[in-house]
């Protein structure tokens, strides 16, 4: 049986491992921390705007298992908040065990607390990866989904310092890029102000620390929008976020909260002393990142050059997904790129033709469009997501955005992609 090694256990890595396993390979998923899902442990938003379309495309292509798990753990469905419609908010507490158990049931070998720090090469081919504890993992094809944020030094250099986020670099060690270790020159994203990287776009407040009326509204509707006094409005922070779909005035003029288990505050940081002056937030406390009053993690500092098969340029047997595949923002974006990367890893191992998703699909279009855009100086300063900003506008212009599930299934059928990710290749 062909062996696929996936390094990085976020949404993209889980999707890659699952896709490779469904295609018939033996799969080992390596994650440096003690939990899967990475940023998905503090995210929680799916199906908003064009993400609905992308999720339904993935389901029609046979790669929608993780979306169905998120749907099953949703606290709120079909909600609206500024600039966003028909969103679902999955429970960030329940989702990780659900995904872990599902992968185990499907036969994925999960190795947590396994931080990969080196690669072994045979010319332009990776033959093995090695953990900091000296354990070696040999594979036929590798998929890198290690993300683009960390270590702590980068958060200090390009942000406001380590905010003690879910990645927990002090406890589990910093991110290491396989592609960089193998000699590939990686790509660094920029903000509009010419600084490198982008600050994660939200934090989590403990719901018990909020006023009872705010908590009640959150739990009843999934959303609470609290206007800020004029003197507290700071629109400069909007340009710092990777989530440009939320860079709307409403997110600077109000405290926008979403109920994902904790209260998701839609700002990259909000000084705690200032926050506690807002009525209803007098006892507010950050749940993640713990230093969320100072800042958040800095991302997009290590993206791999790749083609539309998600194969990393310069290496014959490495694929990438999630943020490693470009300036892609969001869980949906991570899942769909991870799925294609894991599927193509098995195709390569089996000596089969690689799959390129056509640009008549939203998923195929974002993969190609982001690659093209990042070849330009202007494109490196933008972020791309199905749910807003540049790419969602493009989706609408191209008539790719729809919530008509029958039309989406027909689109996938016309491209001869129905259940393509559900079929064994080996």
| Residue 120, C-beta contacts closer than 8 angstroms, at least 6 positions apart | 126, 127, 128, 129, 130, 136
d(CA 143, CA 310): 9
CA distances from 327 to 262, 345, 373, 374 (A): 27, 22, 10, 8
d(CA 24, CA 2): 8
Count the helices and strands in the chain (H runs, E runs). Answer: 14, 18
Q: What is the pLDDT of residue 151?
A: 87
List beta partners, residue 298: 199
Q: What is the pLDDT of residue 252?
A: 81
CA distances from 257 to 241, 261, 330, 335, 370 (A): 16, 11, 18, 24, 30
Q: What is the pLDDT of residue 199?
A: 87
215 membership: H or E segment, kind and range? helix 212-221
d(CA 156, CA 295): 10
Question: Where along the chain do the CATH 3.50.50.60 domains lie?
Answer: 3-194+298-414
Q: What is the pLDDT of residue 139?
A: 98
Q: What is the pLDDT of residue 277?
A: 94
DSSP 88-142: EEE-TTTHHHHHHHHHHHTT-EEE-S--EEEEEEETTEEEEEEETTS-EEE-SEE
- Left (φ > 0), alpha (ψ -120 to 50) or beta: where does 314 sit? left
Instruction: Identify the CATH number of the domain defined by range 3-194+298-414.
Output: 3.50.50.60
Low-confidence stretches of the chain (pLDDT < 50) are none
């Amino acid at each position: 049986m062909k062996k696929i090694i996936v390094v990085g256990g976020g949404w993209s890595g889980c999707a890659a491992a699952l896709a490779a396993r469904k295609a018939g390979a033996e799969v080992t998923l390596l994650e440096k921390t003690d939990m899967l899902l990475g940023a998905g442990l503090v995210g929680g938003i799916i199906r908003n705007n064009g993400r609905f379309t992308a999720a339904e495309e993935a389901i029609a292509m046979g790669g929608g298992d993780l979306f169905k798990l998120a749907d099953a753990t949703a606290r709120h469905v079909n909600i609206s908040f500024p600039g966003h419609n028909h969103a679902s908010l999955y429970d960030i507490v329940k989702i990780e065990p659900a995904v872990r158990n599902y992968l185990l049931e499907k036969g994925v070998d999960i190795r947590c607390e396994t931080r990969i720090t080196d690669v072994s090469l045979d010319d332009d081919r990776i033959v093995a990866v090695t953990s900091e504890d000296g354990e070696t993992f040999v594979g036929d094809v590798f998929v890198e989904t290690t993300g683009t944020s960390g270590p702590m030094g980068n958060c200090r250099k390009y942000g406001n310092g380590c905010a003690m986020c879910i990645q927990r670099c002090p406890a589990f060690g910093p991110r290491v890029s396989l592609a960089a270790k193998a000699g590939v020159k990686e790509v660094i994203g920029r903000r509009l102000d010419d600084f490198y990287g982008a600050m994660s776009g939200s934090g989590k407040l403990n719901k018990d620390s909020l006023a009872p009326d705010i908590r009640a509204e959150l739990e009843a509707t999934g959303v609470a929008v609290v206007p800020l006094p004029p003197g507290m409005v700071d629109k400069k922070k909007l340009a710092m976020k990777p989530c440009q779909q939320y860079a709307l005035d409403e997110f600077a003029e109000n405290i926008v909260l979403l109920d994902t288990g904790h209260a998701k505050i839609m700002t990259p940081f909000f000084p705690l002393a200032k926050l506690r002056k807002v009525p209803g937030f007098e006892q507010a406390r950050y749940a993640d990142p713990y230093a969320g009053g100072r800042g958040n993690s800095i991302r997009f500092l290590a993206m791999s050059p790749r083609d539309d098969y998600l194969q990393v340029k310069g290496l014959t047997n490495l694929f990438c997904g999630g943020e490693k595949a470009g300036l892609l923002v969001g869980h949906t974006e991570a899942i769909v790129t991870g799925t294609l990367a894991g599927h193509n890893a098995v195709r390569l191992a089996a000596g089969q033709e690689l799959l390129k998703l056509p640009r008549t699909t939203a998923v195929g279009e974002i993969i190609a469009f982001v690659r093209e855009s990042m070849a330009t100086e202007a494109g490196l300063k933008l972020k791309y997501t199905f749910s807003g900003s540049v790419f969602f506008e493009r989706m609408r212009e191209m008539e790719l955005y729809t919530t008509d599930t029958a039309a989406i299934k027909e689109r996938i059928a016309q491209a001869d992609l129905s259940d393509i990710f559900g079929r064994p290749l080996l």
